[in-house]
Amino acid sequence: MLATALSFAKTQTEVLAPARFGWVDLTDDLQEAVAESGLQDGCAVAFCKHTTATLAINEWEDGAQHDLRVRLQRLVPEDLYYRHDDLTCRTQNLQEDEPANGPAHVAAMLMGGASQTVPVADGEIVLGRWQRLFLIEFDTPKIRSVHFHIFGT
């Protein structure tokens, strides 16, 4: 049996969603990172290092995007009290001009996706027919960094 060395490559991309609850398709960026890595078989991990955005794998379809936005707005309405936004009691992780973004944090936690792992076979990411990798913004749009780590042979 021949041992094969495991290799990895890493890269990042920066994106800006068009609006709150906006989706950014990262599928081509991920495939490009895999191609540039030269790795043929393994997995690619996409990681979003922001707490008010998430990564998801789903279909690029206006109705699905609308449905998610409507359901999250009902589940996490902006007009409720969020302790995160109450600066009379919050003492941690404060910055100048602290934004009121409690609903964005809750939505991101409910979606639960700081990262996604996608298989790589024959130098190509392996997704289903309609699947795409997205960043979904839950806050005021700002530049977001997404890191790609590709592991394999």
Residue 70 maps to which CATH number? 2.60.120.460
- The confidence score (pLDDT) of residue 3 equals 55
Would you say residue 83 lies in a domain? no
Which domain does 65 fall in, by range? Answer: 8-78+101-152
Would you say residue 43 lies in a domain? yes
- The confidence score (pLDDT) of residue 5 equals 65
- The confidence score (pLDDT) of residue 149 equals 96
Would you say residue 51 lies in a domain? yes
Q: How many domains does the chain have?
A: 1
Q: What is the pLDDT of residues 95-127, one digit of tens each?
A: 888 889 999 999 999 998 899 999 999 999 999
Q: How confident is the model at residue 15 (pLDDT cuts 50, 70, 90)?
A: very high
Collapse the DSSP code of 124 into the 3-class scheme (helix H, G, I; strand E, B; otherwise coil) and give the result: strand
Q: Contact at 8 Å (CB) between 20 and 138? A: yes
| pTM assigned to the model | 0.91
Would you say residue 36 lies in a domain? yes
> Using CB atoms within 10 A of its CB, is residue 52 exposed (0-12), middle (13-18) or buried (19+)?
buried
**56: nearest Cα among 106, 20, 22:** 22
